[in-house]
A and B are shown apart, each in its own frame.
Chain A
Amino acid sequence: MSKAGFLAVVLLRRYRVPIHCVLALALAFYVVTVSSTSPNGGEPVTRLLSQSMKPLKKSLHAVGAAIHNLQVNYVAFKDLWNENHALKEQIAALEAERNRLFEAKLANDRLTELLEIRTRILRQSVAATVITHSPSSWFRTITVDKGGRAGIHQGMAVITPRGVVGKVVSVEEDTAKVMLLTDHKSGLDIITQRTRVRGIVSGSVDGEPVVKYMGRNEDVRPGDRLITSGLDGTFPKGLLVGTIVEIAEDGPGLFRRVRVSLAVDPLVMEEVLFISAEPKPAVSSTATRDREPAQSATP
């Protein structure tokens, strides 16, 4: 090999990368030139490759579109999820608000009833709210949020618009304890509304109130309503006590066993009215009469 040839080989070997770069650039330039001048939009090789790549392009586009759709759907789903979450929170808030309003309406109804009965009864009265029920099954009592300071004293009758509840057994400054009719120590003089037969409604250890001292020959039957007789000096006459639900002939001695369903369920009552034995003080003006019950009726 000649010296020039050897030199050429060495140079070619030494600069083979740049040389190939220049060749590739030339080829690329050729492709660009041909493709830009060709009326068919490309030189034959590119056209052929482009044609043969069509299925691949389509599949790549499909994959890309699927990914794009997935992303779009994910975003939409995320938006929906967020919206759903926000709506759920809104529903919960509205539900709480509705419940609060419903409770307010119920309380309003109860207090209105209490006010009505208070104006009807011609005795001094105090409204109060039940704060606790007796935790013992032997003593059936409730505690209310008003006591001696509000004018409550021992022996006062306790009622609700539905009927008789019980009697005050102890009084503190700001609370009072009421023995319910269901307590086995309680006793209330009653008469049947239909036949005016007398008896004593009392609780029992098993929690079922009964009418004591009801003779075997008395005209009573299940469904008869029991009202206060007014003879005990505590309860006004005519307040509903309950209804006879069962009469058994196996009672002790001369009397029958009469089971009673009380008008007031002590477990669900919330506001009660205390009635004093003393009559209402005489009111001098209409304004005072209108204002005074509303103030004291608020529990």
Chain B
Amino acid sequence: MNVSLAFFGIGLVFVVLQSTVLHLASWTPIIPDLTLILCVYWALNRPRVEAVWATFLLGYAIDILSSPQPGVNALAFTAVFLVAYVVFRYVWATGALISAVTVFMAVWLKVGTLIVISPLFELTARGWVVVADAILREAIFSACIAPVLFLMLRSIQNRMETVRKPSSLVDAAS
């Protein structure tokens, strides 16, 4: 099975989780953006054209499911993917801390994009503090779980690529 397709499926599961369990459960006041972590991982480890559009579609799915203004999440996710691809990829080093820092910054980037784009975020000075606090908490939480999620995604990717390798070797031989 295509790794990108598998990641897209995982992304959809994350979207559903964020829209249901994580969103409604009161034991998680901060909802980690699992989909965003996936997109960052995707941009860093398997940047392909289909990954770009899958990221766009995942953001768009969030828009359809929960956003009052369609397109803002698609835009934010794609922007995060682009920045992760263009900037983070070149300073990338494998490690839990680096992945956490990357996701931390990605969350800020995503919400920054949302704030710039969406007219919903026309806030007063005090409102900015509240929003910044919420972003900070979400970013920290997402950064904390990012290393684990990265490990999981890497293991899925490695397994799928290992399975695919023999057939490609056979093709090359023939």
Q: Which residues of B contact A72 (CB under 8 A)?
A: 26
- Given known pairs A18-B86, A24-B56, the reply for A32 and B65 (CB within 8 Å) is no
Is A43 positioned at the interface, with any CB of B under 8 Å from its CB? yes
Please report the C-alpha to C-alpha distance between residue A32 and residue B73 in the assembled complex, in whole angstroms: 9
* Complex interface residues of chain A between 9 and 35 (CB less than 8 A to chain B): 16-18, 20-22, 24-25, 27-35
Q: Which residues of A contact B118 (CB under 8 A)?
A: 32
Q: Which residues of B contact A67 (CB under 8 A)?
A: 20-21, 24-25
Q: Which residues of A contact B71 (CB under 8 A)?
A: 28-35, 46
**Closest Cβ neighbor of A29 among chain B residues:** B75
CB pair B19–A28 under 8 Å, yes or no, is: no
Q: Which residues of A contact B117 (CB under 8 A)?
A: 29, 32
- As a 0/1 sequence over residues 65 to 89 of chain A, the CB contacts with chain B under 8 angstroms (1 = contact) are 1011001100000000000000000
CB pair A64–B49 under 8 Å, yes or no, is: no
CB distance from B173 to the nearest CB of A (A): 27
The stretch that binds B, out of A49-57, A175-183, A191-199, A270-278, is A49-57
Q: Which residues of B contact A24 (CB under 8 A)?
A: 52-53, 55-56, 74, 78
Most chain B CB inside 10 Å of its own CB: which residue of A20, A24, A50, A64: A24
- Given known pairs A21-B85, A71-B25, the reply for A27 and B56 (CB within 8 Å) is yes
* Complex interface residues of chain B between 32 and 54 (CB less than 8 A to chain A): 47-49, 51-53
Is A101 positioned at the interface, with any CB of B under 8 Å from its CB? no
Q: How large is the interface on A (under 10, 10 to 19, 20 to 34, 35 or more residues)?
A: 35 or more
**Closest Cβ neighbor of A43 among chain B residues:** B70
CB pair A25–B85 under 8 Å, yes or no, is: no
Is A60 positioned at the interface, with any CB of B under 8 Å from its CB? yes
- B82 contacts which of A18, A32, A35, A43 (Cβ < 8 Å)? A18
CB pair A71–B27 under 8 Å, yes or no, is: yes
Q: Which residues of B contact A42 (CB under 8 A)?
A: 70
CB pair A17–B24 under 8 Å, yes or no, is: no
CB pair B65–A53 under 8 Å, yes or no, is: yes
CB within 8 Å of B: which residues of A? 16-18, 20-22, 24-25, 27-36, 42-43, 46, 49-50, 53, 56-57, 60-61, 63-65, 67-68, 71-72
CB within 8 Å of A: which residues of B? 16, 19-21, 23-27, 47-49, 51-53, 55-56, 59-60, 63-65, 69-72, 74-75, 78-79, 81-82, 85-86, 117-119
